Amino acid sequence: MTLQDLIFKLSEYWGGHGCVIQQPLDIEVGAGTMSPETFLRVLGPEPWNVAYVQPSRRPADGRFGENPNRLFKHHQFQVILKPAPDDIQQVYLQSLEACGIDLRAHDIRFEEDNWESPTLGAWGIGWQVLFDGLEITQFTYFQQAGGIELAPISVELTYGLERLAMVLQRVDNVFDLVWGAGVKYREARWRDEVEQSKYAFGQVEGLSREAFAAFHRELFDRYYAFAESLLAGGLVIPAYEHCLKCSHLFNVLDACGGIGVTERTAYILRVRQLAVAIAQAYTQPATPTAPEPLPAAD
Amino acid sequence: MERELLLEIGCEELPASWLTPLAGQLAERLTARLREFRLASDAEAETHATPRRLAAVVPRIAERQSDHEELVSGPPAAAAFRDGQPTPAALGFARKYGVEVAALERVTTPKGEYLAYRARHRGRAAADILPDVLAATLRDLSFPKQMRWDAWIDDGRGELLFGRPIRWLLFLYGGRVVPFTIRRSPLAQSASVQDVRSGAVTHGHRLLAVSGRAGRAVKVRSFQDYKARLAEHFVILARRERQDRLVRELELHARRLGGRVHASAHASAGPLAEVADLVEYPSVVAGTYSAEFLQLPQEVLTTTMIHHQHYFPVVDDRGRLMPAFLAVTNIEVDNTRKIAVNSERVLTARLRDARFFWDADRATRLEDRLDRLDTVRFHRALGSYRDKARRLERLAATVAESLGAPEAAADAARAGLLAKTDLTTDMVREFTELQGTMGGIYAREQGEPDPVWRAIYHHYQPASIDADAEPSRESLGSAAAVWAAVSVADKLDSVVGLFGAGERPTGTRDPFAIRRQVQGVLKVLVDLPEVTGLTAAVDVGPLLAGAAAGYPDGTLAEFDEDLQTFVRDRVKYVFQQRGFRPEEIEAVLGATGVALAPLDLRHRLEALAGMRGSQDFAALAVLFKRVKNIAREVSPVPQPAYEARLDRSRLVEPAEQALLQAFDRVAPAMREAVAARHYRKAMAEAATLRPAVDRFFTEVFVMVEDAALRASRLMLMVSVRDLVLEVADISQLGGA
């Protein structure tokens, strides 16, 4: 099964289980959790079922295309079900079957692995799902997001698409995966990985590390201040998007060694404060609701 | 008629480390709640836990609650009757309980006589009470981390938090379902989120079934039936049986590979115990990895396999790692090859990472990593690990001297300086549990002398206060003294610094594990002769002061006393854990001028414990209480000058003479023994005072009118007291 077939299968499966199939967020994020489709939608009481692919950038994991398992940018298939159905573990296992995995020929286990995002003020209880010892999914019952206690509880399923595809295609190197249409992951992604890794670690010819870090630091501050203005102006979703910009810039600064230990904690705290304020604003009753369609004229 | 109670709480996968404690809690809480609800049983609750279920059976529970009487007090008897007629107060009280005044009783209390009504409560049927028992028991269970899952119970306490979501409840009394419902919150309630109602069914293994759909509901009638159904459906209920099966399978597969399972598997708290609680139906799959990885340090290989993958390493008959491992699965398959191939792939990826770190880390010498330590924070108020390395370099050397090993000082300084540098290595960043170990290995690789690298390797140890806690004398070899100095210095530095920074532990809160670090220091000092061959009885007080000297002025001053008390409490804890009685510990800590020197205290305690059988000593302990009480007339605390003031010319009574002679005989012998730390001998000497002291109290009255005589007798008591106190305050042992 190619990587793109895997995406089709999972989309079809979860679409068939009542999920809206969303498109990836068009902003740099480290995980599908950060998309407003997850972070904002798990807040408040309204039911919400959604699934989407999220390209996820982890600057510190960049390996210049040389490591068979680690990537600057990998792909997650993210599912949010709110409220979490009683039979969700079973439904999840069936999604693996839908991808062609014979559950009776492999060892599939749910091992404790709670999830926490200090920058988002979010945490949850759950497991990593191990497939013959390999983590293929993070399974989390969200308890808190943006510092807000959640009710009802959402379940988040995050499939590591590359990991899963490597299992299905039985390859040892991510770059040997078949993406689709006869194209290998190497052709689709390798150059991107090499250049993005250099970027992430601040290895830019003709540009000093200091200048690199200073630029990102300045961007962080400007986006941060702008996010606060947007929030003050009542534009919650744009404010959140600018908060995500800050989060990504922080990740770049962290990867390139542009921040010290003490400073690091301060950055995390600042992003969290913003995320918490945004989550609170989002759940205010003033949130505009979509207009009802006009009654049809006779 | 008594019937069986069977409960199974069906959960989503509970963490392995919780299972044994949860089974214990369930037995304890269910028994307590049954008693509280007056459902008598002469049988113990038997409980079990697997990742997906907590089960309890009580073989016999009474069909009804025991009847219950209660005496309700009413008005005082004096106010209940006037002229032989009941007053309105008495009538009102009787009416309230629907009886005649004549049916009331009289009770006498310390406050006087009262009218009282004896209420008799008839026990209710067990089936009506058991839902309350279950509700209370569910509330009682506590988890290291609990979650909200939109559930609540109708017991007036609202939301029900739990370790993981509950998906079914098997709840039978005498084979019949006891109705019980866990409700779901209105916000979540929907077609896919439903109340959990008790029933007569369990669920087998999620994926294994002989026939039909795996994990389907299976009807159950009794505990016997329940166990049998689970076994049929690939769930081994008893943890012992899971572990036994696991051991058998592991050994079988290891033999097939021509080796045996790595020793770590059999450690009591080791991976075996954990893995047995990760699965409901353990099977084993064997895999191999490329022999080229055997060039990696053995510690890296075993850590990768055991801690990261829960795989069991295989060793040959000489204990050397073979390029093979055993993975435990929760499933039984005909063809294990597919699982093995995937497991091999995962392990190989991890080992490849490890090899990358191994090669990259060795490119930088440890001393060149010191500057990078500047970016690793030790504590907000205490700077970086670079600062700590500087302090350790100096402190480890001075500790070596205090331990009576000045020849180890130079190596200790070197090891102290480098001990933390592995925090900047990629390997330790990835495998944090290898801190110290990797530092030692990298030090060895770069040619540091044996004592230096071994001291770094073991410097986080000891991890417990058990006498046989690692490292052993064998594993340390010639590095023993250097290790002791570095291990103690590291912990002292942290304890003093963190105390000064206001991180003193409170209650169960001890985020920096200060208690454990102090205990680590004490363990090293207590067992110094066995582990290092050194015999110095080192006082902790000056060691702490030495550690404080590494910090800016004044760090120790403000909390000195606090810290002393804290350390003293830890000393008591350590010796209690070693089996000494609290009163014995108080006794040796009460000896005159005794230092907080764990080894010296240990010798005194061992001597004291050795005297437990001596009748003279026990009797002396009782008499000593009197000696101390009388001596207090002069002064509550000993002073060397007192003995010199003993006026022998006045002590002419035979009993006085006898005690004086005994004292003169015992004193030099005892003092010689104390000076030589022969406490057993000293105590045996002290015990010989018993007949003379006894006789003195029988024949002599101390508090006579004659002031000079009284003073002489008092001074004799004081002298005896001060002499005995030099070895221990045995009045603590006196008992009655």
**pLDDT by residue (tens digit) across B516-574?**
999 999 999 999 999 999 999 999 999 999 999 998 876 666 667 888 899 999 999 99
Asked whether the beta carbons of residue B16 and residue A112 sit closer than 8 angstroms, the reply is yes
Q: Are residues B539 and B427 in the same domain?
A: yes
Whether the CB of A296 is below 8 Å from some CB of chain B: the reply is no
d(CA B33, CA B40): 11
CA distances from A103 to A108, B207, B446 (A): 7, 7, 49
- pLDDT tens digits, B643-676: 888 888 889 999 999 999 999 999 999 999 999 9
d(CA A246, CA A227): 9
Q: Are residues B504 and B562 in the same domain?
A: yes
Structure tokens of B476?
């340390």
Closest-CA residue of B relative to A104 is B207
CA distances from B668 to A164, B685, B724 (A): 82, 10, 12
From the CA of B435, how many Å to the nearest CA of chain A? 19
CA distances from A172 to A168, A189, B341, B361, B598 (A): 11, 16, 11, 25, 56
Q: Could you say which of B304, B335, B362 is where a domain stops? A: B362
Counted domains in chain B: 5
CA distances from B176 to B6, B43, B56, B64, B250 (A): 10, 20, 16, 15, 41
Q: Which of A236-245, B425-434, B717-726 has the lowest mean pLDDT?
A: B425-434
What is the CATH architecture assignment of A209-282? Answer: Up-down Bundle (1.20)
Q: Are residues B538 and B561 in the same domain?
A: yes
Please answer whether residues B185 and B148 qualify as being in contact, where contact means their C-beta atoms are separated by less than 8 angstroms: no
Q: Which residues of chain A have pLDDT under 50?
A: 287, 298
**Of B149, B214, B384, Cβ closest to residue A153:** B149
Residue A293 DSSP label: P
Residue recorded with tokens 């000494």: B580
pLDDT recorded at residue B112 = 85
Whether the CB of A46 is below 8 Å from some CB of chain B: the reply is no
Taking residues B337-360, what's their average pLDDT? Answer: 92
Asked whether the beta carbons of residue B339 and residue A106 sit closer than 8 angstroms, the reply is yes
Most B CBs within 10 Å, among A49, A64, A71, A86, to test the B interface: A86
Q: Are residues B20 and B32 in the same domain?
A: yes
Taking residues B488-516, what's their average pLDDT? Answer: 89
Most B CBs within 10 Å, among A109, A111, A262, A264, to test the B interface: A109
Q: Is the peptide bond before B471 cis (omega within 30 degrees of 0)?
A: yes
Closest-CA residue of B relative to A163 is B346
Asked whether the beta carbons of residue B208 and residue A104 sit closer than 8 angstroms, the reply is yes
Q: Is residue B590 part of a domain?
A: no
Dihedral class, residue B262 (left if φ above 0, else alpha if ψ from -120 to 50, else beta): beta
* Pure H helices in B215-278: 223-232, 239-256, 271-276
Examine the pLDDT at B330 and tell me if it is beyond 70: yes
What are the structural domain ranges in chain A? Answer: 3-200, 209-282
Whether the CB of A204 is below 8 Å from some CB of chain B: the reply is no
Whether the CB of A260 is below 8 Å from some CB of chain B: the reply is yes
d(CA B492, CA B495): 5
pLDDT recorded at residue A285 = 66
Query: Around B406, how many Cα atoms within 13 Å sit in the side-chain half-sphere?
Result: 0
Q: Is residue B597 part of a domain?
A: no
From the CA of A21, how many Å to the nearest CA of chain B? 20
Residue B592: count of CB within 10 angstroms of its CB: 18
Residue B412 DSSP label: H
pLDDT recorded at residue B429 = 87
Q: Could you say which of B362, B387, B418 is where a domain stops? A: B362
Q: Is residue B531 part of a domain?
A: yes
Q: Are residues B515 and B388 in the same domain?
A: yes
Dihedral class, residue B579 (left if φ above 0, else alpha if ψ from -120 to 50, else beta): left
Q: Tally C-beta pairs within 8 A across A and B.
A: 124
Asked whether the beta carbons of residue B13 and residue A134 sit closer than 8 angstroms, the reply is no
User: Domain with B623 in it: what CATH number?
Assistant: 1.10.730.10
pLDDT band (50, 70, 90) for residue B5: very high
Structure tokens of B621?
């302990």
**Of A69, A104, A109, Cβ closest to residue B278:** A109
**Of B192, B214, B349, Cβ closest to residue A68:** B349
What percentage of chain B reaches a pLDDT higher than 70?
Answer: 98
Most A CBs within 10 Å, among B11, B12, B185, B335, to test the A interface: B12
Residue recorded with tokens 């159905």: A85
Per DSSP, the residues of B536-589 read ----HHHHHHHHHTTSSTTTTGGGHHHHHHHHHHHHHHHHHHTT--HHHHHHHH
From the CA of B606, how many Å to the nearest CA of chain A? 46
Closest-CA residue of A relative to B159 is A151
Closest-CA residue of B relative to A134 is B346
pLDDT recorded at residue B559 = 63
pLDDT recorded at residue A289 = 57
Asked whether the beta carbons of residue A45 and residue B187 sit closer than 8 angstroms, the reply is yes
- Between these two residues, B270 and B705, which has the higher pLDDT value? B705
3-class secondary-structure state, position A179:
strand
**Of A125, A152, A167, Cβ closest to residue B188:** A152
Burial B547-581 (b: 16+ CB within 10 A, else e): bbebbeeebbeebbeebeebbeebbbbbbeebebb
Asked whether the beta carbons of residue B165 and residue A141 sit closer than 8 angstroms, the reply is yes
Q: Are residues B436 and B489 in the same domain?
A: yes
Q: Does domain A3-200 have CATH number 3.30.930.10?
A: yes
Residue B477 DSSP label: G
**A151 contacts in chain B (CB < 8 Å):** 148, 150, 185, 187-188
Most A CBs within 10 Å, among B19, B145, B148, B185, to test the A interface: B148
Residue A24 DSSP label: P
Asked whether the beta carbons of residue A150 and residue B148 sit closer than 8 angstroms, the reply is yes
Angle between helices B514-526 and B480-500 (to 10 degrees): 150
Q: Are residues B44 and B134 in the same domain?
A: yes
The Cα diameter of chain A in Å comes to 69
Element (DSSP H or E) covering residue B176: strand B176-177
**A111 contacts in chain B (CB < 8 Å):** 13, 16, 278
Please answer whether residues B623 and B693 qualify as being in contact, where contact means their C-beta atoms are separated by less than 8 angstroms: yes
Angle of CA points B529, B530, B533, to nearest 5°: 45
Asked whether the beta carbons of residue A104 and residue B167 sit closer than 8 angstroms, the reply is no
Q: Are residues B161 and B259 in the same domain?
A: no
Asked whether the beta carbons of residue B149 and residue A84 sit closer than 8 angstroms, the reply is yes
Asked whether the beta carbons of residue B149 and residue A85 sit closer than 8 angstroms, the reply is no
d(CA B396, CA B416): 6
**B215 contacts in chain A (CB < 8 Å):** 90
From the CA of B330, how many Å to the nearest CA of chain A? 6
Q: Are residues B154 and B182 in the same domain?
A: yes
Examine the pLDDT at B736 and tell me if it is beyond 50: no
Q: Is residue B374 part of a domain?
A: yes
Q: Domain containing B714: what range? A: 604-733
Asked whether the beta carbons of residue B12 and residue A150 sit closer than 8 angstroms, the reply is no
Examine the pLDDT at B142 and tell me if it is beyond 90: yes
d(CA A186, CA A184): 5
Burial B481-495 (b: 16+ CB within 10 A, else e): bbbbbbbbbbbbbbb
Query: Around B149, how many Cα atoms within 13 Å sit in the side-chain half-sphere?
Result: 26
pLDDT recorded at residue B272 = 87
Most B CBs within 10 Å, among A79, A153, A177, to test the B interface: A153
Q: Are residues B634 and B563 in the same domain?
A: no
Q: Are residues B198 and B279 in the same domain?
A: no
Q: Are residues B181 and B33 in the same domain?
A: yes
CA distances from B612 to B173, B616, B683, B734 (A): 53, 10, 11, 12
Taking residues B305-326, what's their average pLDDT? Answer: 93
Taking residues B136-162, what's their average pLDDT? Answer: 95
Burial A174-196 (b: 16+ CB within 10 A, else e): bbebbbbeeebbbebbeeebbeb
Examine the pLDDT at B381 and tell me if it is beyond 90: no
Asked whether the beta carbons of residue B208 and residue A84 sit closer than 8 angstroms, the reply is no
Closest-CA residue of A relative to B148 is A143
d(CA B286, CA B615): 63
**B13 contacts in chain A (CB < 8 Å):** 109-112, 127
Q: Which of A179-188, B173-182, B310-319, B553-562 has the lowest mean pLDDT?
A: B553-562
Q: Is the peptide bond before B582 cis (omega within 30 degrees of 0)?
A: no
Q: Could you say which of B87, B103, B121 is where a domain stops? A: B121
**Of A86, A127, A141, Cβ closest to residue B13:** A127
pLDDT recorded at residue B264 = 76
pLDDT recorded at residue A290 = 60
**B339 contacts in chain A (CB < 8 Å):** 105-107, 132
From the CA of A152, how many Å to the nearest CA of chain B? 6
